[in-house]
Amino acid sequence: MDSIAAWAAQLEWGRIWGLLITAAAAVLCITFHETCHGLAALAMGDPTARRMGRLSLNPLRHVDPVGLAMLVIARFGWAKPVPIDPRYFRNPKAGMAVTALAGPVSNILLAFVLTGCYGVSLFYYYLTEAEWLYYLTVFFMTAAMLSEGLAVFNLLPIPPLDGSKVLFAILPERLYWQLMRYERYGMIALVVLLMTGVLDGPLGLMRGWVAGLTEPVGAWAFDLIQSFYF
């Protein structure tokens, strides 16, 4: 027992809590993102995601364990792709574009909500100094940042990211389907760009722009709750 206690005492509990909070935030953002892909596809006429049980907020239906671990550790990960059958779409290119865009847009909307929750939680933490409120506040902040990051990352016009499907939708039909055949090689290019840091600048600028839109919501929520007390 003494050896177990000594081992536990050496653990960096702050870092462990940080990883757990980040993992929980990533699960929320990924689940919401993928579910909205499926909902958009259904709205455009494709029932494939619904038939395969992907129109669910159950994380187990969407989260890839390895992809989640990579997202938490390296800030680059993936989920189980939502199955889409463009043959159901009246206009396949437009259907794919709308379905793809639904993911990033949903994450931006989620970031607004999470930032508002952060403002409320932060006020109550200052008011009570409750430890559980501290961790809840950190969760909301982390989830909002991850949701913003997931949105801007997926908007990059690099296959297989959502942004590529939106961009390809404006291309001629023949060229569109030719490029879609090489989608798998886009992942290799994406990994290289991430490892070399080429995308750090553009991603930072894009996320800063989105954060500039969402952050005032947190301040507004904080001030609103404060007005009921003082």
34 is catalytic: yes
Residue 158's nearest CA partner among 130, 198, 213 is 198
What is the residue type of 224?
L
Q: How is residue 60 annotated by DSSP?
A: G
The active-site residue, picked from 12, 34, 173, 215, is 34
Calculate the alpha carbon distances from 97 to 17, 36, 77, 104 in Å. 38, 13, 22, 12
Residue 31's nearest CA partner among 157, 207, 150, 184 is 150
**b vs e for 180-201, b when ≥16 Cβ sit within 10 Å of the residue's Cβ?**
beeeeebeeebeeebeeeebee
Tell me which residues are annotated as active site: 34
